[in-house]
Amino acid sequence: MIFDLHVHTNFSDGIFAPEEAVYLAFNKGLNGMAITDHDTIFGIEPAIQASKSLNDFIIIPGIEFGCVHKDEEVHILGYFIDYKSSEIINITNKLRESRLKRGVHIINKLNNMGINISLDQINQTLSNNDYIGRPHIARALIENGYVNNIQEAFNIYLDRGKPAYVERYRLSINDTINLIHRSNGLAVLAHPGILKQKGIIAYCINMGIDGLEAIHPKHNKENVLYMLNLAQKHNLFTTGGSDFHGDKTNGESPLGKYYINLNDISTMKGRV
């Protein structure tokens, strides 16, 4: 029962459509995966439909909310959320609207810096034109020759504190965890190993997080062991996934390389 519990599609900033992501994951030998797009639930239903044509491939409905705490970005994953609830639909609509406004604002800032990039160009790369993420802008900056890769685009322009950074509407950690719980879901702190302020992990535990993501491409062995220990101490479960966006790292796709055994997570196994 190996599952990738962290997958993005082109309904947020992933490259592949949900159907394509499902077939890719199935062909890697996974038994299932969670669709965890940033701030949107639109990729879930198409993935579920695509999985029906396969033998026993399970889709877990999920989402990844981007919060900010003490000026640091904190990502919270929600699993088994009732993605058809009006509350989830209303809040994710609001988040996507704010992203569109922010996208235009970022492009204006870049233009004012003399960088030639347009909303039209970005729109052409979007599969779903109601969602703009910074990775879309990063890809356009690469295409126009301003940077060599996504990392560079963030380091020079797009990251918090960099000249083209623009804030957007977000939920607090507390509101996010409560929203996930009201939606009948389980809340998991995403890639805690990359947090600069380690106190944020304890804060999330105090706020009632249910699990910690232990397996993640940006986690080293120490991070993984630390999360496993901490989870055991606080009676939380641990998850894992590839944070697949479709891009390759050093020529290799992370899909199929980062996963967990769902049988090890009784709280989640009981719900599939």
| Min separation Cβ 183 and Zn ion, Å | 21
Q: Which of 53, 93, 116, 151 binds ligand AMP (CB under 6 A)?
A: 151
Decide if residue 62 touches ligand AMP (CB under 6 A): no
Count Cα atoms within 13 angstroms, Cβ side, for 82. 9
Asked if residue 66 binds ligand AMP (CB under 6 A), the reply is yes
Does 4 contact Zn ion by CB under 5 A? no
- Give the shortest CB-38-to-Zn ion separation in angstroms: 5
DSSP string, the chain: -EEEEEE--TTTT-SS-HHHHHHHHHHTT-SEEEE--BT--TTHHHHHHHHTTSSS-EEEEEEEEEEEETTEEEEEEEES--TTSHHHHHHHHHHHHHHHHHHHHHHHHHHHTT----HHHHHHH-SSTT---HHHHHHHHHHTTS-SSHHHHIIIIISTTSTT--------HHHHHHHHHHTT-EEEE--GGG-S-THHHHHHHHTT--EEEEE-TT--HHHHHHHHHHHHHTT-EEEE---B-S--BTTB--TTTS-EEGGG-HHHHTT-
Choices 45-53, 128-136, 199-207, 264-272 (CB under 6 A): range interacting with ligand AMP? 128-136
Residue 195: both structure tokens together: 């947090």
Half-sphere exposure of 33 (CA within 13 A, CB side): 35
Q: Rule CB under 6 A: is residue 170 a binding residue for ligand AMP? A: no
13 binds Zn ion (CB under 5 A): yes
Which of 130, 264 has the CB closer to ligand AMP?
A: 130
- Taking CB within 5 to 8 Å according to partner kind, which of Zn ion, Fe ion, ligand AMP, none is near residue 66? ligand AMP
Give me the 221-260 binding string for ligand AMP, x by CB under 6 A, dash otherwise: ----------------------------------------
Residues in the site for Fe ion, rule: CB under 5 A? 64, 75, 190, 243
134 is in the binding site of which of Zn ion, ligand AMP, Fe ion, none (Cβ under 5 to 8 A by kind)? ligand AMP
User: Could you tell me the end-to-end alpha-carbon distance of the chain, in angstroms, rounded to an integer?
Assistant: 11
- Residue 38 engages ligand AMP in binding (rule: CB under 6 A): yes
Considering only the stretches 13-21, 46-54, 161-169, 227-235, report the one whose residues sit in contact with Zn ion under the rule CB under 5 A.
13-21
216 binds ligand AMP, rule: CB under 6 A: no
Using CB atoms, what's the residue nearest to Fe ion? 75
Give me the residues that bind ligand AMP (CB under 6 A), please. Answer: 13, 38, 66, 133-135, 150-151, 154, 159
Give me the residues that bind Zn ion (CB under 5 A), please. Answer: 13
